[in-house]
Amino acid sequence: MKDLNGRLDLCSINTATLGYQLPIGQTIEAVARAGFGSIAPWRRELEGESVKIVSRRIRDAGLGVSGYCRSSYITAESTMQFSNAIEDNRRAIDEAVELGARCFVMVVGGLPKQSKDLAAARQQVHDGMAQLLEYASEQKMPLAIEPLHPMYAADRACINTLQQALDLCDALDPSQGCSVGVAVDLYHVWWDPDLEAQIKRAGRDKRLLGFHLCDWLVPTNDMLLDRGMMGDGVIDIRSIRHWTEAAGYAGSMEVEIFSRDNWWQRPVAETLAICAERLQTVC
Amino acid sequence: MKDLNGRLDLCSINTATLGYQLPIGQTIEAVARAGFGSIAPWRRELEGESVKIVSRRIRDAGLGVSGYCRSSYITAESTMQFSNAIEDNRRAIDEAVELGARCFVMVVGGLPKQSKDLAAARQQVHDGMAQLLEYASEQKMPLAIEPLHPMYAADRACINTLQQALDLCDALDPSQGCSVGVAVDLYHVWWDPDLEAQIKRAGRDKRLLGFHLCDWLVPTNDMLLDRGMMGDGVIDIRSIRHWTEAAGYAGSMEVEIFSRDNWWQRPVAETLAICAERLQTVC
Between the alpha carbon of residue A107 and those of residues A88, A187, A261, B262, the distances in Å are: 13, 14, 24, 32
Nearest CA in chain B to A118: B191
* Contact map slice: B 180-219 vs A, CB within 8 A: 190-193, 216, 218-219
Closest CA to A257 of A187, A177, A153, A192: A187
Peptide bond into A219 cis (omega under 30): yes
Closest CA to A147 of A130, A164, A131: A164
Query: Is A218 within 8 Å of B154 when comparing Cβ atoms?
Result: yes
Q: How confident is the model at residue B64 (pLDDT cuts 50, 70, 90)?
A: very high
The answer to whether B244 touches B184, Cβ cutoff 8 Å, is yes
Which ipTM did the prediction report?
0.97
Would you say the pTM of this structure is higher than 0.90? yes
The answer to whether A23 touches A48, Cβ cutoff 8 Å, is no
pLDDT at A221: 96
Q: What is the pLDDT of residues B65-88, one digit of tens each?
A: 999 999 999 999 999 999 999 999
The three-state DSSP-derived secondary structure of A115-164 is: CCCHHHHHHHHHHHHHHHHHHHHHCCCCEEECCCCHHHCCCCECCCCHHH
pLDDT at B178: 72
pLDDT at A23: 96
Whole-angstrom distance, CA of residue A31 vs CA of residue A17: 11
* Contact map slice: B 135-154 vs A, CB within 8 A: 149-151, 153-154
Q: Is the pLDDT reported for residue B267 higher than 90? A: yes
Whole-angstrom distance, CA of residue A254 vs CA of residue A224: 18
DSSP A55: H
Return the H-helix or E-strand segment holding A59.
helix A51-60
Query: Is B236 within 8 Å of A117 when comparing Cβ atoms?
Result: yes
pLDDT at A218: 98
* Contact map slice: B 221-280 vs A, CB within 8 A: 223, 233-236
Query: Is B192 within 8 Å of A218 when comparing Cβ atoms?
Result: no
Q: What is the pLDDT of residues B28-37, one digit of tens each?
A: 999 999 999 9
Q: Does A100 touch chain B (CB under 8 A)?
A: no
Whole-angstrom distance, CA of residue B78 vs CA of residue B75: 9
Chain B partners of A224 at a C-beta cutoff of 8 Å?
Answer: none
Q: How confident is the model at residue B177 (pLDDT cuts 50, 70, 90)?
A: confident
Each of the 283 residues of chain A gets a pLDDT tens digit; together they read 999 999 999 999 999 999 999 999 999 999 999 999 999 999 999 999 999 999 999 999 999 999 999 999 999 999 999 999 999 999 999 999 999 999 999 999 999 999 999 999 999 999 999 999 999 999 999 999 999 999 999 999 999 999 999 999 999 999 877 799 999 999 999 999 999 999 999 999 999 999 999 999 999 999 999 999 999 999 999 999 999 999 999 999 999 999 999 999 999 999 999 999 999 999 9
Mean of pLDDT over chain B: 97
- Residue among A154, A160, A235 whose CB faces B193 most closely: A160
- Residue among A122, A154, A158 whose CB faces B218 most closely: A154
- Residue among B116, B191, B219 whose CB faces A160 most closely: B191
Whole-angstrom distance, CA of residue B261 vs CA of residue A102: 45
The answer to whether A158 touches A108, Cβ cutoff 8 Å, is yes
